[in-house]
Amino acid sequence: MTSATATRLLLCKALATALLLGSVWSLSIKMLAQSGPQQGVQQQPQSVSLAHLYWHFLVYQNHLDTVAAAQSAQGQDGNWLSGDLQRKMGFSDADFAPIRASSVRLSSELQALDAQAASLRAAGISSSNAAQLKALAVQREADINVEIASLKQALSPDKITAFEAFITQFFAPKTLTYQITSASGQAATAAVQP
């Protein structure tokens, strides 16, 4: 495996982990919102709010920093990983410092909320647990909004605009087309939206 392939694989795993954290919350809330099976109802895809893009980006950046620190502890250079998004955005160390600090705070706060939510889910769905899960979701949103406000105070308006444009583009859905050929040689095209 080449170094570039290993890098891509590591980045994909890190992004999947960050996105999975968000999916767990979404699934919990959707399960609570459904009073029973609704057959024949198709849900339309909804765009993700800017606040949730902040959330996913900050959790992802914290994950990259954590993996980079682990690599450094093993004597490997982890700076390329922790600085990847910063380089892509073109931010200086000083410009990116508030983002990095915010990612640490938000990840810590959300880990505590995730642990509480996991224990409630493990206890089973009850009206009491459902109310507590909804309260945790509200707290999660409040924590995200506090970090957004903190970043908007710490960064210049130009940097906030650049940051929001980057995270919007970075997490924007992209349709990929794959050509699949069966063993018999028949080809089929599949469009996938990651």
pLDDT tens-digit series, residues 26-48? 444 444 444 344 444 344 455 77
CA 117 to chain centre: 18
Give the per-residue pLDDT at 162: 97
Q: Structure tokens of 4? A: 């570039």
Tokens representing residue 16 in the block: 């999947």
Q: Give the dihedral of Cα atoms 6, 10, 16, 18; nearest 10 deg.
A: -170
Domain boundaries, the chain: 3-33+47-192
143-182: per-residue pLDDT in tens? 999 999 999 999 999 999 999 999 999 887 654 455 566 5
pLDDT at 191 over 70: no
